[in-house]
Structure 1
Amino acid sequence: MHYVKSKSILSAKNGMNLYRGCTHGCIYCDSRSKIYNMNHEFEDVEVKENALELLKKELIKRPKAMIGTGAMTDPYIPAEKHLKFVRNSLELIYRYGFGFTCITKSDLVLRDLDLLEKINEKSKVVVQMTLTTADDELCSILEPNVCPTSRRFEVLKMLDEAGIATVVWLCPILPYINDTEENINSILDYCIEANVHGVLCFGMGLTLRDGNREYFYEKLDEHFPGLKARYIKEFGNDYSIPSHDEKRLMEIFKYRTSKAGILNDTNEIMSYLSEFPQKSVQSKLF
């Protein structure tokens, strides 16, 4: 872990990355890709030491909106336990009346449930949780340094009980590893029971490019001997790596989410995530 000073903390669309790099160890992580120009080892997490100071300044001058984090780095990495950059950011978001959404795989999000509830009462909170496999043993291989899927399911239920909306990212689905009807149905069972608001699925497959491809193949050799050769033969250096069973699995996904009343349209879910609630103001007659 190392510290840097940053010039800004919020993107034009109110995205926020307090950390750069991750220690969850997910074998498929796109954030390892060279395209992002990370000039340090991925596990050597970069901490923006002046992030809170910058966030306060930017929240003061920006119109009210949803503040999002987790697109590049899971905000609830283990270091957050003692650094508390996310928690302190939530305090600022609450103070200045903004909404909040994050993408995570960690049950550490429950530490901040008190603040999430306060923000949700004042504006809006949506917690997004990634689920890739319902098999905890397989999960320990695909996502080795983070809580298993069964625990994430418990987190989703606890958030629902607290009145906080949730969205599940059903991705990536890795050909010949977790692209089975049983796995997709089991994850959807979790989503339905946890009363999630929406499920994001960008197709049954994954993406690979320079940087994350090499790491992914290294882990295939370690845990799934012979599978790398199959990937190279079938997909070469393609960016998009679809499951051979994508059509049938997507039909299952769309049918079951629609039947359960769960949002499954990507554009509709993205609009929901970015939409800041406008509080109605009653006019007084004098």
Structure 2
Amino acid sequence: MSRPHVPIRGRGTAINPHNRFAPTRSEAEDDGWFQDETPPTHATEVRRETAKTIITRNQSPDVGFDRSVNPYRGCEHGCIYCFARPSHAYWDLSPGIDFETKLIAKTNLAERLEAELSKPNYVPQPIALGINTDGYQPIEREYELTRQALEIMLRYRHPVSIITKGSLIIRDLDLLEQLAAQNLVSVAFSLTTLDDELKRIMEPRTAAPGARLRAMKTLHDHGVPVNVMTAPIIPMINDMELEAMLEAARDAGASSAGYVLLRLPLEIADLFEDWLRTHFPDRANHVMSLIRQSRGGKNYDSRFGSRMRGEGQFADLLSQRFRLARRRLGLDKREWAGLDCSRFAPPGSQMGLF
């Protein structure tokens, strides 16, 4: 039989599912010889990448931006539900614990970003920073790639939106204040729970909920626009906290809010269900049933227009709850709205493009 795994403290998962692009598959089997074996270590490794391009374009109709910059591949935060996990397979790595421990830093980010913003035909629109993986994950303390990107945004007067679970963002308050003074930045905090223990097992290396709210309050008090994303909402795990999270974010200075129903594309479905049965065996079947009821009987529905919200009774009720709470709390400003593209001016130019 397959060897059972035990949760690894500080990591979102203890398993490494098969890389879907690999030509062969291997599975560990317990033959009884290694009962006293010392568990393998799971230290974080960081590889350096020389990126050819740094601005990623998208045409998705259900996200509010058309370009993004991601300083890192993989994320040490270890959120079990992270929609970016399957992308690690493109690098011959597993979306499982590899995604949390074998990271890639785009160390030439500053050079490439400046080159792309300086192209004569470049037309500015807000850049979403750290969308696929968090730009303020722990390795940012050493590599400072997100800070480098913000320094360039400020120098070029280019609008930028940020979403993070990391309180490390306060380190860059000096840059964010200057960007905000020119209406060039908006920050969203992803908030999934107010429960420290649930945070510990669900997104182990993120900032604590209280730390995120304090960071939000600090930014707000310094004139930086802040928003909240209650994402993802997971049936019977954190959906009961929705209104409380929105209220806490409002009290910390958030002016708008959004939410996303849990998405389980590709390998994430097996990873999440394994996590669910490890930590919540008593309700695992019910949780998965509600997810499938909201996804047309499947683990995931990738259709634009429904993939973020789902459909069916649970999804409709969640949508109603969110709309009512958002209106009651005054969190109904348009997300990511209002950043100023007219100030854009590459260093050395006489004036902006507009």
TM-score range, shorter chain: 0.7 to 0.9
Which structure: greater helix fraction? 1
Work out whether 1:262 is the aligned partner of 2:309: no
Deviations 1:184-230 (CA, angstroms, capped at 9, x unpaired): 1210211221231210123xx31112211121122112211244444
- The residue aligned with 2:351 is none
Between the aligned residues of both structures, percent identity stands at 31
Structure 2 unmatched ranges of 5 or more: 1-45, 58-65, 302-309, 344-354
Work out whether 1:158 is the aligned partner of 2:218: yes
Q: For 1:2, what is the secondary structure of its paired residue?
A: strand
- After superposition, the Cα gap between the structure-2 partners of 1:189 and 1:60, relative to the gap in structure 1 and judged at 3 Å, is same
Q: Which entry has the higher C-alpha Rg, 1 or 2? A: 2
Deviations 1:115-159 (CA, angstroms, capped at 9, x unpaired): 111122234111111011122221112111111111111111111
Are the counterparts in 2 of residues 99 and 276 from structure 1 also a CA contact under 8 Å? yes
Question: Over aligned residues, Cα RMSD in angstroms?
Answer: 2.3
Work out whether 1:14 is the aligned partner of 2:71: no
- The residue aligned with 1:192 is 250
Work out whether 1:116 is the aligned partner of 2:176: yes
Q: For 1:168, what is the secondary structure of its paired residue?
A: strand
Structure 1 unmatched ranges of 5 or more: 280-286
- The residue aligned with 1:141 is 201
User: Which moved further from structure 2: 131-140 or 160-169?
Assistant: 131-140
Q: For 1:147, what is the secondary structure of its paired residue?
A: coil
Q: What is the correspondence of 1:182-221 to structure 2 with a 5 Å cutoff?
A: 183-202=241-260, 205-221=261-277
- After superposition, the Cα gap between the structure-2 partners of 1:90 and 1:46, relative to the gap in structure 1 and judged at 3 Å, is same
User: Which moved further from structure 2: 97-106 or 59-68?
Assistant: 59-68
- After superposition, the Cα gap between the structure-2 partners of 1:269 and 1:162, relative to the gap in structure 1 and judged at 3 Å, is same
- Normalized against structure 2, the TM-score is what? 0.70
> Which amino acid letter does the alignment assign opposite residue 158 of structure 1?
T
- After superposition, the Cα gap between the structure-2 partners of 1:78 and 1:30, relative to the gap in structure 1 and judged at 3 Å, is same
Give the Å deviation of 1:36. Answer: 7.1
Q: For 1:255, what is the secondary structure of its paired residue?
A: helix
Give the Å deviation of 1:23. Answer: 0.8
Q: Give the length in aligned residue pairs.
A: 270
- After superposition, the Cα gap between the structure-2 partners of 1:106 and 1:27, relative to the gap in structure 1 and judged at 3 Å, is same
User: Which moved further from structure 2: 142-151 or 243-252?
Assistant: 243-252
> Which amino acid letter does the alignment assign opposite residue 53 of structure 1?
E
- The residue aligned with 2:26 is none
Q: For 2:324, what is the secondary structure of its paired residue?
A: helix
C-alpha separation in 2, matches of 1:103 and 1:232: 28
Are the counterparts in 1 of residues 191 and 228 from structure 2 also a CA contact under 8 Å? yes
Are the counterparts in 2 of residues 99 and 120 from structure 1 also a CA contact under 8 Å? no
Q: For 2:335, what is the secondary structure of its paired residue?
A: helix
Are the counterparts in 2 of residues 18 and 48 from structure 1 also a CA contact under 8 Å? yes
Q: For 1:200, what is the secondary structure of its paired residue?
A: strand
Give the Å deviation of 1:261. Answer: 2.5
C-alpha separation in 2, matches of 1:237 and 1:260: 34
Are the counterparts in 2 of residues 87 and 112 from structure 1 also a CA contact under 8 Å? yes
C-alpha separation in 2, matches of 1:260 and 1:231: 28
- After superposition, the Cα gap between the structure-2 partners of 1:14 and 1:251, relative to the gap in structure 1 and judged at 3 Å, is closer
C-alpha separation in 1, matches of 2:263 and 2:199: 19
- The residue aligned with 1:283 is none
> Which amino acid letter does the alignment assign opposite residue 9 of structure 1?
I
**Aligned equivalent of 2:300, options 220, 228, 239:** 239
C-alpha separation in 2, matches of 1:72 and 1:97: 23
- The residue aligned with 1:54 is 112
- The residue aligned with 1:284 is none
**Aligned equivalent of 2:86, options 9, 33, 37:** 33
- After superposition, the Cα gap between the structure-2 partners of 1:97 and 1:105, relative to the gap in structure 1 and judged at 3 Å, is same
C-alpha separation in 1, matches of 2:314 and 2:288: 18
User: Which moved further from structure 2: 60-69 or 74-83?
Assistant: 60-69
- After superposition, the Cα gap between the structure-2 partners of 1:232 and 1:160, relative to the gap in structure 1 and judged at 3 Å, is closer
Give the Å deviation of 1:9. Answer: 0.3
Give the Å deviation of 1:55. Answer: 0.7
Work out whether 1:253 is the aligned partner of 2:322: yes
C-alpha separation in 2, matches of 1:14 and 1:173: 25
Are the counterparts in 2 of residues 21 and 42 from structure 1 also a CA contact under 8 Å? yes
C-alpha separation in 1, matches of 2:151 and 2:50: 21
Are the counterparts in 1 of residues 73 and 105 from structure 2 also a CA contact under 8 Å? yes
